A and B are shown apart, each in its own frame.
Chain A
Amino acid sequence: SQQGEEDPQALSIQEGENATMNCSYKTSINNLQWYRQNSGRGLVHLILIRSNEREKHSGRLRVTLDTSKKSSSLLITASRAADTASYFCATDAKINAGGTSYGKLTFGQGTILTVHP
Chain B
Amino acid sequence: DAGITQSPRHKVTETGTPVTLRCHQTENHRYMYWYRQDPGHGLRLIHYSYGVKDTDKGEVSDGYSVSRSKTEDFLLTLESATSSQTSVYFCAIRRRTADYNEQFFGPGTRLTVL
Q: Enumerate chain A interface residues (CB-CB to B < 8 A).
A: 2, 4, 30-31, 33, 40-45, 48, 88, 90, 92, 101-110
Contacts and interface: CB of A to CB of B under 8 A. Distances in A.
Contacts of B105: 42-44
Contacts of B94: 103
Interface stretch (B11-19, B35-43, B65-73, B77-85): B35-43
B42 A109 contact: yes
Nearest to A41: B107
Contacts of A106: 45, 59
Interface pairs A-B: 10 shortest CB-CB: A42-B105, A109-B42, A107-B43, A103-B94, A48-B99, A107-B42, A43-B105, A103-B101, A45-B102, A103-B31
Given A41-B108, A104-B48, 10 more contacts: A2-B41, A30-B101, A42-B1, A43-B90, A45-B103, A48-B102, A90-B103, A104-B33, A105-B45, A108-B42
B90 A42 contact: yes
Interface of B: 1, 31, 33, 35, 40-45, 48, 50, 56, 58-59, 90, 92, 94, 99, 101-108
Contacts of B102: 33, 45, 48
A27 to B, nearest CB: 14
B90 A31 contact: no
A104 B103 CA distance: 9
B42 A88 contact: yes
A43 B102 CA distance: 11
